[in-house]
Structure 1
């Protein structure tokens, strides 16, 4: 059989691919963005990670469903219609037995096309709040898998199973080694800073102002994102770090991208994190009991990131700092609180640790319903 996979959220899609590769007689094809930024033609991480796994990758573009009317919304609608016809060509050419989507706007035309061709569609929802695209896909999906029990009610009348989120096996490897680029002499606690795959300008610029302070108290691992048309933050941050003392410079490592083995070691050894609050990042912080300062992306659909951050903050495992509140002073104060009370935050997270094995549970749900 052949499974066509598409995912706005890459990491659970990769976890699913890695699990399915252990099964017999299953072919997979992945449909997604080949460029993370069209103008600069910068290769996307999803194309690199999928191809690295020897899975066929089909480049695909589409528009977003926007709730408001504007010239931009009309342009996106035009791209969505064009994407739908391209999706139909892909479905007819590949002839998949199942379309497995991990959300996002690219999945909408693929799911609709599969449905019209009477091919089963399965949706995995990672977030604690359902976005526009997944809400639409859920209406035509044969099966909906969710990460949190309270999300079931968002898909009333559909066949829903709670699988939890899908964690990549590489993150669970307890034999991973310390990254060679990270200082092995520092005894300071590790602080992981990330703005997601493409980085966050506002987090990067705020951290830039605090380098002398945070490198005094922490061994900092900063994933700043790839080079954009506007700026090269790895270069900017490295240049600024050269102004630090030799000892402080040793305690600051800035990287565009951190691979799975490196991230596994960081998750298993870091004390705290500063991050956006995407669905997969917050789930991983919960799983590894990493206290965090979460700065939600203010324009995420249906305040998805805000609600993800609120979920961990109400649990007592994170500090929520809105982008409007963010400054060098407020971040420093939040980090000081986190450092003083890290054990309390960590204990709250440990009381709510989700089970691993989401990919296996999803596969079993597919088997049970005769979809694979």
Structure 2
């Protein structure tokens, strides 16, 4: 069998990989980084996700990737009437995934997690297609814990995560960073956002769905923040506020795609949630960050663990959502700005290696062919 980078004989059909993962941008980001790499190596990439999730929108931006929607239910940790209906949606999704995988005959399935991935992993297992899972957070999410028994290997970003993976399946690969993020232009970022050179830019990201708590804190403190910074605020779908449209040095957008590398390049600091994919991308770009992780009331606490790991490494300031007062926010941001050079120096000492190449080799070795 050819290795991960060997050219394919002209008379041999391309190896096919089925990607899955969704529910939020964080469950798609790694796939977005790996798909072009594997396509360059001769793989035929297809994707399976929900019919209306953000994964469908994001994958539509890639070239030559067919998308197959399936039924899915959300894995909730709270009481909701939909919990009665969702097991039936998941069962329907398993049948759809099984039937489609049987038709597509992929050589391997790569799952990034999220509730949509569970039917796909089960459908692959029923078709005897090898499955590789990726877990970005320090502790595995519920979907990946369910899928783990049906997987060959589980790729992990944090070394500490291996202790939470049963069966000796964990492979520490490190963070996956989209190649296009490393090619941003600060000049283009300033030009696109119509901001001026010479005054530092603060980039605010609340995740693909936005964060009302962070959005409100930013807007309440604009008079103080704009004394030091120009701001680019990615506030999430439906979270634009026209009352602030004419504030000097403040730009707000629901979400950006192609412009993100340039906006990151022109930014001095980042205020963000603590999703693993995002914070490792900020680390790769040497962007000191103020992290405001989702609280345990709104999540399983994975972002709190991610943020604490980065705080111990000296890459960020952390402010818990329960402590998000105007005074605490401005104080934490002030400390980060004062220490930004020291933070960047610690970031430069981190050697990430080649995680994407490691995963590509692992995928090739797990392939049925």
Normalised-by-shorter TM-score class = 0.7 to 0.9
Deviations 1:278-324 (A, max 9, x none): 11111112222222111112245531111111111121221211211
Q: Distance in 1 between matches of 2:351 and 2:122?
A: 35
Q: Distance in 2 between matches of 1:302 and 1:184?
A: 38
- Say if 2:59 and 2:65, in contact at 8 Å, map to a contact too: no
Choose the corresponding residue for 1:358, options 346, 350, 355. Answer: 355
| Structure 1: gaps of 5 or more residues | 37-43, 228-232
The within-5 A match list for 1:324-363 is 324-355=322-353, 357-363=354-360
Corresponding residue for residue 6 of structure 1 = 20
Choose the corresponding residue for 1:97, options 104, 107, 113. Answer: 107
The within-5 A match list for 1:1-372 is 1-8=15-22, 9-24=27-42, 26-36=43-53, 44=54, 46-67=56-77, 71-173=81-183, 178-179=188-189, 180-227=191-238, 233-234=239-240, 236=241, 238-242=242-246, 244=247, 249=248, 251-260=249-258, 262-298=259-295, 299=297, 301-355=299-353, 357-371=354-368
CA distance 1:272–1:371, shift in 2 (3 Å):
farther
- Say if 1:6 and 1:103, in contact at 8 Å, map to a contact too: yes
Q: Distance in 2 between matches of 1:117 and 1:133?
A: 20
Shift of 1:203: 1.1
Aligned to 2:103, what secondary structure does the other structure show?
helix
Corresponding residue for residue 230 of structure 1 = none
Q: TM-score, normalised by structure 2?
A: 0.87
CA distance 1:51–1:350, shift in 2 (3 Å):
closer
Shift of 1:5: 0.6
Shift of 1:101: 0.5
Shift of 1:85: 2.3
CA distance 1:48–1:102, shift in 2 (3 Å):
closer
Q: Distance in 2 between matches of 1:141 and 1:240?
A: 49
Shift of 1:187: 1.2
Deviations 1:73-96 (A, max 9, x none): 323333322322222232233222
Q: Distance in 1 between matches of 2:269 and 2:74?
A: 35
Q: TM-score, normalised by structure 1?
A: 0.86
Q: Distance in 2 between matches of 1:332 and 1:196?
A: 21
Supply the RMSD in Å over aligned alpha carbons: 2.2
| Structure 2: gaps of 5 or more residues | 1-14
- Say if 2:245 and 2:252, in contact at 8 Å, map to a contact too: no
Shift of 1:122: 0.8
Deviations 1:163-190 (A, max 9, x none): 2222111112256751333235341111
Deviations 1:4-40 (A, max 9, x none): 111231111011101011022x22211123434xxxx
Shift of 1:329: 2.6
- Say if 2:202 and 2:270, in contact at 8 Å, map to a contact too: yes
Shift of 1:347: 2.6
- Say if 1:4 and 1:28, in contact at 8 Å, map to a contact too: yes
Q: Distance in 1 between matches of 2:128 and 2:310?
A: 39
Q: How many residues align?
A: 349
Deviations 1:103-159 (A, max 9, x none): 111111110111111111111111111111112212210122111222222223233
Q: Distance in 2 between matches of 1:46 and 1:147?
A: 24
Q: Distance in 2 between matches of 1:45 and 1:111?
A: 17
Deviations 1:244-281 (A, max 9, x none): 4xxxx1x2121122224x22223333221111111111
Q: Distance in 1 between matches of 2:337 and 2:96?
A: 51
